[in-house]
Amino acid sequence: MKRAALYMRVSTIDQHPETQAIELREFAALRGFLVVEEYVDHGISGTKARRPGLDKLLYDAHRRPFDAVIVWSCDRMARSTKHFLQILDELNHLGIQFISQRESMDTDGPLGRAMVTIISAIAELERSLIVERVRAGMRRARLEGRRIGRVPLDVDRSAIVRDRKSGLSLTKVARRHGVSRATVCRFVNESNRISS
């Protein structure tokens, strides 16, 4: 029986990797794989090349405790074509098969590898289009005079700095003015830079 490692990734902390894991365990059993390891990255974007779960999977792959890596979809592994192909090349070099459940493909052959590359390129294109749409929306909002980003704090900066420099604790100053301790520190530091 072939041994498999499962890799799950979710981008936000309110998503649950177990949703992918349940499907992948069933899928592996149907394909005749014995799941020997599961790797999870929770609340981490696929655009990040360094992820604890993925790093551990690639590190372990060199010891060959599994024969295949199964993911729910290609974009769970990586969002950029370059990074995705680096991972595939490393797994291929180690003789480890890559299988994506959603796209119904694996790298056990040249056609499977070609299809994985095409789908990865499409996923990267989709992400680039989303980024460009967001940027266009922000440009339009600026042209219409709408504010982008945080609304500036409506507080008396000089009073905050005065209170802090008078010896009040960070916590007391923050509570008195309804701001965070970090904001108090930032205002005091900015004040010190201006005065020096």
Number of domains making up the chain? 2
Last-in-domain residue among 103, 126, 149: 126
Q: Which residue range forms the structural domain that includes residue 82?
A: 2-126
Asked if 161 and 116 sit in the same domain, the reply is no
Q: Is residue 144 part of a domain?
A: no
Strands in the chain per DSSP E: 2-10, 33-42, 68-71, 97-100, 105-106
The average pLDDT across 152-167 equals 89
Residue 171: partners with Cβ closer than 8 Å, 6 or more residues away: 181
Asked if 101 and 8 sit in the same domain, the reply is yes
Strands 97-100 and 105-106: antiparallel
Asked if 120 and 173 sit in the same domain, the reply is no
Asked if 94 and 37 sit in the same domain, the reply is yes
Q: What is the pLDDT of residues 100-153, one digit of tens each?
A: 998 877 787 778 777 777 877 787 788 889 899 999 999 998 899 888 877 777
Are 161 and 188 in contact, with CB atoms under 8 Å apart? yes
Are 86 and 115 in contact, with CB atoms under 8 Å apart? no
Last-in-domain residue among 126, 147, 176: 126
Asked if 114 and 163 sit in the same domain, the reply is no
Q: Is residue 72 part of a domain?
A: yes
Of residues 178, 166, 176, the one with CA closest to residue 188: 166
pLDDT at 76 over 70: yes
pLDDT at 196: 63
Which residues carry out catalysis?
A: 11
Asked if 87 and 166 sit in the same domain, the reply is no
d(CA 191, CA 196): 9
Percent of the chain scoring above 70 in pLDDT: 99
Q: Is residue 139 part of a domain?
A: no
d(CA 189, CA 178): 18
pTM above 0.75, yes or no: no
